[in-house]
Amino acid sequence: MKISPETAALQDELLRRLKLLVAIDSARGPAEAGAPFGRGPRQALDAALGMLEADGIRTVDLDHMAGYGEIGQGDEVIGIICHLDCVPADRSQGWQTDPFVLSEKDGILTGRGVADDKGAAVAAMLALKVLQEQHVPLNRRVRLIFGTNEESGSRGLQHYVEQEGGVDYGFTPDGNFPGIFGEKGTLKGVYHSRRTQILNLSGGMAPNVVCPRCTAEILPHSCSRSRLKNYFADHSVACEIEELTDRDRITVTGRAAHASMPELGVNAITFLLMGLKESGFQDPFTEFYASHFGYTIDGSGLGARCSDEYGVLTCCNGMIGMQDGVITGTFDIRFPVTMSSRQIRRQMEGHLEDENGWAEIQQAREPLYYPVDSPLVRSLHQAYVEVTGDHENLPATMGGDTYAKVIANTIAFGCCFPGRNYHLHEANEQCPREELLEQTEIYVQAVKNLLAL
């Protein structure tokens, strides 16, 4: 790894800034005057813009929804786009440290946002500082853009685009190195059922996270408790059964994972409902769930299963709840980069409902796809190779949805290095300390390469 002395000197400053940003719980909250996505995101935006100003960089706050700092001159803009919000961190979900206190053990930093995406935001800030200190001639403007609700719809960056337009070349360090030339399309939907014996049902953190915990209440003796216990023992999934006066309450604990990689999670909704079914619980909704989702994560129950040369379709069940006797759950499909939402919808026709329930698509987003040999993808990949010496890992596609879909001429680049699990959107989100410096150096080189185009 080639790290310049200017970058190496910033180690403490990187940690200082990251600590300040991690301390702000910037998960989306209720809108307030001057805080369209809640207090946390607003506070994080103020803090980050303040850090840029302290570096002598001019900043603009766009109605507290997004903001940016800029260096350089010229008509064209190179954008680095990060987000300052985070997904919620529930201390009960297995955090070994306080998620809002940056901690370090054996060179590994832990805290909500260290990898998604506050670490990258800090590394990008300091990349601008290095470019200034190295007196790199800036024939284009270099803009560090902050959004404040990437995890809940990207409205903040849309506002930026409406106010300021796009960028000429851009990257968003909210995916993987050495670059993501394709992002799967998304189809987000819900399913409903009123045909159920379940008395109460709730679970999930967010629609784009594999459900880590789910609770159901059923009448006593409506299934075999011993078969239920055996089922969970057989599947090595944690389950707690409480015997209340008029009902049994069953809580299943699985493991959260990002919706784009449901194979890394253990879905508590799935195991709870399939466990009930296997234990003799007779229920139309449970049958609906089993036939439309069940254990699969490839969308086959919805008729959506497909793949292209870059990957397969995935389907994640995130949240579930019950109100006035109606069960509603969410699903999040990521489909291959060379396909269209129309194709998938057509495939799903006739598979969305039966007598026990129905599913509907509420939101569709087309995939993003840049050829691997386009100047943007090539320049960024080269920057990665120049700094890391890693020729083996190549730009790839992914299932995650990033800002690249919102702002033109942009791909995801960083901040995750190949082959490491950062526990994104999970408990104990982490990032090796040394990677912050490496990221900074790669972003510096990336801007230099983009300046040369």
Q: Which residues bind Zn ion (CB under 5 A)?
A: 116-117, 174
Closest to Zn ion by CB, 117 vs 248, is: 117
Nearer to Zn ion, 152 or 279 (CB): 152
Least distance from C-beta 212 to Zn ion, angstroms?
Answer: 18
Min dist CB 146 to Zn ion, Å, is 12
Nearer to Zn ion, 81 or 387 (CB): 81
How far apart are alpha carbons 83 and 149 in whole angstroms? Answer: 7
Q: Which amino acid is at 113?
A: G
Nearer to Zn ion, 140 or 365 (CB): 365
Tokens for 287, please give them: 């049958």
Q: Which residues contact 252 (CB under 8 A, 6 or more apart)?
A: 213, 214, 215, 232, 237, 238, 239, 268, 271, 272, 275
CB of 117 to Zn ion, least distance (A): 4
Minimal distance, residue 415 CB to Zn ion, in Å: 9
* Residue linked to tokens 């919102």: 406
Nearer to Zn ion, 279 or 439 (CB): 439
Nearer to Zn ion, 160 or 288 (CB): 160
What is the amino acid identity at position 203? G
- Is 68 or 403 the residue whose CB approaches Zn ion more closely? 403
Shortest distance (Å) from residue 422 CB to Zn ion: 11
Minimum separation from the CB atom of position 265 to Zn ion (A) = 17
User: How far is Cα 240 from Cα 64, in angstroms, rounded to an integer?
Assistant: 44
| 136 φ, ψ (degrees, to nearest 5) | -70, 125
Q: Give whichever of 157 and 198 is closer to Zn ion, judged by the CB atom.
A: 157
Inter-residue contact 2 to 387 (CB < 8 Å)? yes
**Is residue 246 within 8 Å of residue 222, measured between CB atoms?**
no
Q: Could you write out the DSSP letters of every residue in 351-419?
A: SSEETTEEEEEEEEE--EE--TTSHHHHHHHHHHHHHH---SS--EEES---GGGTSTTEEE--EEPTT
- Find the shortest distance in angstroms from Cβ 151 to Zn ion: 7
In this complex, which beta carbon is closest to Zn ion, that of residue 168 or of residue 174?
174
Cα separation of 166 and 182, whole Å? Answer: 19
Query: Nearest distance from residue 392's CB to Zn ion, in Å?
Result: 25
Asked if 434 and 194 touch (Cβ cutoff 8 Å), the reply is no
Distance CA 238, CA 218 (A): 18
Kindly state the smallest distance separating residue 189's Cβ from Zn ion, in Å: 22
DSSP 8-class letter at 150: G
DSSP string for 75-113: S-EEEEEEE-------GGGT-SS-TTS-EEETTEEESTT
* Alpha carbon distance 349, 332 (integer Å): 17
